[in-house]
Amino acid sequence: MSARAVLQAALVEALREADGLAALTKVFDAAPARAALPYAVVDDPVLIDWSTKDWAGREARFAVVLHDAGERPVRLRALVAAVEEAVTGMAADLGEGWRLVGVVLGRERVARGSGERWLAMSEFVARMRREG
């Protein structure tokens, strides 16, 4: 698998197993045609080369978008905190020889969607290298 696919699969798995998320929301790797609220979507990472002459590496920028409904985004704010904790606490071994060197939160935003819908976007920057 490519670095992009390995990272996205690891992110989906980490979010599906995270305390505070697993019981409350479904996690998808692409926007679902139909899904009950709340749900999360892990966008495709945007990768840039982060290699040296000795090893292959990638810097990845990606977003986790949460969708919810209600008068106020109270539940959504709790989900945003759970997403941040799950992503920044991911295991270093991503699979297929890729290791997470570090991941940091870039920015978060909660915004009103249409009607009573709410959206929250958490953007992260991760660095990973291939071992072997």
Under 8 Å between Cβ of 130 and 1: no
The CATH architecture annotation of domain 3-130 reads 2-Layer Sandwich (3.30)
Q: pTM of the predicted model, to two decimals? A: 0.93
Query: What are the beta bridge partners of residue 117?
Result: 69
Q: Does residue 110 register a pLDDT over 80?
A: yes
Render pLDDT for 71-81 as a digit per residue (tens, 0 to 9): 999 999 999 99
Q: Which amino acid is at 56?
A: A
More confident residue, 28 or 23: 28
Among candidate residues 21, 2, 3, 1, the one with its CA nearest the CA of residue 87: 21
Q: Does residue 132 register a pLDDT over 80?
A: no
Burial class, 87, CB count within 10 angstroms (exposed 0-12 / middle 13-18 / buried 19+): buried
From residue 54, how far is each of 16, 50, 77, 126 by CA, in Å?
34, 11, 42, 20
Beta strand 39-42 with 26-28 is: parallel
CA pair distance 113, 38, nearest whole angstrom: 13
